[in-house]
């Protein structure tokens, strides 16, 4: 999925060294090494691993970092707000119990690496894979059932720690976006309508269109508001060797919203990686009901709208895949635009016609919302 030539590690190290010299004040002998550069830009953010070493007050220092770089050219999302990500990560890393990587710096000048980027401390651990998913193979399936149960529960504990953070005391009130709507749910629906309209400019997605109608017709009432991660799934967690969570990753969809926004995403991604892909639930993993019960036990939150937020999660993934399909088509990779597992599961959840593997929807549309 490369959209640009690969970076040169030597030039990347040189650029990072010059940039770090403006951030690590009072140091000498600054060096950047062990630069690991991906083969090319993906359609999402690019991750560059590196080490920095320096001397300050005659004492040697050093650290491992990861630079998260916004896409150069077409991306899956219309906007990449790394300034917000960095602010949230830094606040949570200091003032919450969740193991969020510190992110000391963000750079909006594209002259350094070709696009804006943030730099976070690099933590050690393993991430459950999504491609292929951890339900199909990899280190998670190599664990015992008891180990998988512990891994999964530690993930839910990390989610509960995030939801315990106080947005106001952390200075995260700015995540409220009243220009999108009066309530957090209004804001989420407006955000995803805009993302869909952007992704579907050249072709509609009937299941997504029907899901928006379903979400409007089945809105829940008043709900509590917490700092929502936006990416609540096992594939965004870094696990240490003892299966505790070493890092909570990927904050591009952070928002103030109902805690069930995150819970719905957690539940739906699990559904996608099992039912959606024809894979069994790994032994040791709790089922949907047990997951909801355990989350409620950890947080004290009475879960009342899990179905609603699973539908919203399915819609979100279907929109993202719709955009990805369009990008692939522009590169000559043409495939069904609505027959992906997320769309099929979304249709089942709302009682809409389920697309089959031969469905090819590219219905021209004019957005008038």
Domains and CATH numbers, the chain: 9-121 (3.30.200.20), 139-350 (3.90.1200.10)
Strand pairing partners for 334? Answer: none
Q: Any long-range contacts for 341-344 (C-beta under 8 Å, 24+ apart)? A: 341/272, 341/276, 341/277, 342/272, 342/276, 342/314, 342/317, 342/318, 343/205, 343/207, 343/208, 343/318, 344/276
Tell me what pLDDT residue 340 has. Answer: 85
- Alpha-carbon Rg for the chain, nearest whole angstrom, is 21
* The total number of residues written for the chain in this structure: 369
pLDDT of residue 364: 38
> What are the angstrom distances between the C-alpha of 224 and each of 97, 159, 163, 227, 255?
20, 16, 11, 10, 13
Q: What is the pLDDT of residue 332?
A: 57
pLDDT of residue 363: 39
- CA 341 – CA 318 distance, rounded (Å): 9
- pLDDT digit string (tens) for the chain, length 369 residues: 444 567 899 999 999 999 999 999 999 999 999 999 866 445 568 899 999 999 999 999 999 999 999 987 767 777 889 999 999 999 999 999 999 999 999 999 999 999 999 999 999 999 999 888 999 999 999 999 999 999 999 999 999 999 999 999 999 999 999 999 999 999 999 999 999 998 877 678 899 999 999 999 999 988 999 999 999 999 999 999 999 999 999 999 999 999 999 999 999 999 999 999 999 999 999 999 999 999 999 999 999 999 999 999 999 999 988 887 766 666 655 555 446 899 999 999 999 988 765 554 443 343 333
Q: What gap in Å lies between CA 324 and CA 131, rounded to an integer?
A: 15
Residue 70 · residue 86 · CB < 8 Å: no
Per-residue confidence (pLDDT) for residue 41, from 0 to 100? 43
Cβ-contact 35, 49 below 8 angstroms:
yes
- pLDDT value of residue 123: 95
Burial class (CB in 10 A: 0-12, 13-18, 19+), 102: middle
Element (H, E) at 297: helix 288-299
- Kindly state the DSSP code that residue 341 receives in the 8-state scheme: H
């Amino acid at each position: 999925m490369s959209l640009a030539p690969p970076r040169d590690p030597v030039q990347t190290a040189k650029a990072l060294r010059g940039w770090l010299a403006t951030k690590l004040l009072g140091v000498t002998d600054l060096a950047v090494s062990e630069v690991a550069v991906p083969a090319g830009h993906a359609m999402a953010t690019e991750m560059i691993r590196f080490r920095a070493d320096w001397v300050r007050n005659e004492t040697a220092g050093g650290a491992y970092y990861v630079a998260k770089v916004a896409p150069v050219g077409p991306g899956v999302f219309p906007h990449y707000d790394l300034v917000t990500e960095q602010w949230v990560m830094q606040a949570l890393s200091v003032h919450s119990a969740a193991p969020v990587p510190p992110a000391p710096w963000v750079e909006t000048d594209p002259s350094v690496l070709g696009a804006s980027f943030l730099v976070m401390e690099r933590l050690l651990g393993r991430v459950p894979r999504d491609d292929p998913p951890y339900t199909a193979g990899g280190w998670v399936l190599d664990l015992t059932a008891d180990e998988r149960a512990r891994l999964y529960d530690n993930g839910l504990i990390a989610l509960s720690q995030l939801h315990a953070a106080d947005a106001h005391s952390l200075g995260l009130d700015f995540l409220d976006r009243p220009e999108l709507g009066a309530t957090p749910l209004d804001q989420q629906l407006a955000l995803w309508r805009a993302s869909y309209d952007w992704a579907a400019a050249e072709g509609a997605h009937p299941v997504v269109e029907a899901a928006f109608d379903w979400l409007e017709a089945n809105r829940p009432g008043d709900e509590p508001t917490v700092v929502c991660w936006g990416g609540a799934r096992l594939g965004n967690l870094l696990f240490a060797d003892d299966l505790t969570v070493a890092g909570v990753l990927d904050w591009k969809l952070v928002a103030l919203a109902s805690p069930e926004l995150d819970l719905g995403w957690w539940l739906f991604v699990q559904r996608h990686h099992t039912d959606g892909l024809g894979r069994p639930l790994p032994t040791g993993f709790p089922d949907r009901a047990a997951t909801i019960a355990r989350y409620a036990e950890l947080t004290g939150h009475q879960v009342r709208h899990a179905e609603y937020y699973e539908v919203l999660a399915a819609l979100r993934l279907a929109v993202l895949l719709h955009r990805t399909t369009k990008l692939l088509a522009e590169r000559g990779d043409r495939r069904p635009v609505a027959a992906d597992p997320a769309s099929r599961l979304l249709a089942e959840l709302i009682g809409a016609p389920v697309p089959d593997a031969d469905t090819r929807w590219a219905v021209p549309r004019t957005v008038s919302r």
